[in-house]
Amino acid sequence: MKLKMQDLRLFNLVFESDPGWILDFSNRTLSAFFEEELNIDIDDERYQEEGTSKAKRVRCLLKQADRETALRVLGALWQYKTESMPEQAEQSRNDYLALISRLENADTDEAKGVKPIQAWHGVDWPSLIAEMNEMKSLPPHPRGFRFEAWLAELFSIFKLAPRSAFRNTGEQIDGSFRLNDEFYLMEAKWHQKRTSAADLHVFEGKLSTKATWTRGVFISWMGFTPEGLTAFGKGKRVICVSGYDLYHSLSHGIPLPDLLDAKTRHAAETGEPYAEFDRLYALKNKQFGTLK
């Protein structure tokens, strides 16, 4: 968001203990704090545009982020200060409250910004992939339950606020999750054959009875038939994800939110409900990362 000179002055008074320092954090503990408390990668090069000191990186983050993120960051830092150095916190309380008030009352244009770079350093990528491989040998019924449980774990790891299966009158929903502050319903299938248009139409029908902005993600381990995708058509509210997509995104260290973002953008730009992992990332001109 747009920070004015007075905003920066108040921030420095409250949080900059010495020039370039944030409270009593070292580089290591600041990185750990932002990852564990805020799921933000404060070491990302995007936050080093004004320099690499701790204070410059945090100020750069605040300038780039939206108001919600900025307030969340300041709130976490303030809580840390009140717990670790209560006397100093009491002395700077009025300055902190003045800073928060200024940001909360900033106009809409000033409050705009981008979501922060998320930190996924603690993800056990090989373990997630190993679980996928283990499921292949299970009988169909337990495999289906294991697949749903694995998906719930996957969505939790990437902080997508999953909700397990629930039932409305006359219909079963496999779950829901939140991505970029929007909610999606989810359908998950692990059949021996690829998913056809019939299952996609049923899921689209469920979405049509919900709020007009509701979108859905259909996850099919075996993928989707080409003729089924053609029959399903374009311009739907369903985003399709295959087991192939999940396996290769995890194998290349690509976080699930990034995969879903790429698929959502592709659907918005083309109307197509599905683009396979290889095609999707070729279209984005994005090099694969390395296995974490």
State the average pLDDT over residues 68-80: 97
CA atoms within 13 A on the CB side of 156: 10
pLDDT, position 286: 44
Query: Considering all CA atoms of the chain, what is the largest pairwise distance in Å, rounded to the nearest integer?
Result: 68
State the average pLDDT over residues 179-199: 91
pLDDT, position 22: 98
Between CA 187 and CA 185 the distance in angstroms is 7
Task: Answer whether residue 282 shows pLDDT above 80.
Answer: no
Q: What is the pLDDT of residues 190-232, one digit of tens each?
A: 988 999 999 999 999 999 989 888 899 999 999 999 999 999 9
For 125-283, the fitting CATH number among 3.40.228.10, 3.60.20.10, 3.40.1350.10, 3.40.30.10 is 3.40.1350.10
Task: Answer whether residue 273 shows pLDDT above 60.
Answer: yes
- Model pTM score: 0.70
> To 10 degrees, what angle do helices 125-135 and 243-251 make?
150
Q: Is 64 helix (H, G, I), strand (E, B) or coil?
A: helix
pLDDT, position 173: 66
Residue type, 24: D
Q: Which residue has the tokens 């779950």?
A: 175
DSSP code of residue 47: G
Confidence of residue 144 (pLDDT cuts 50, 70, 90): confident
Between CA 187 and CA 2 the distance in angstroms is 40
> To 10 degrees, what angle do helices 67-84 and 54-64 make?
150
**Domain-by-domain residue ranges, the chain?**
5-111, 125-283
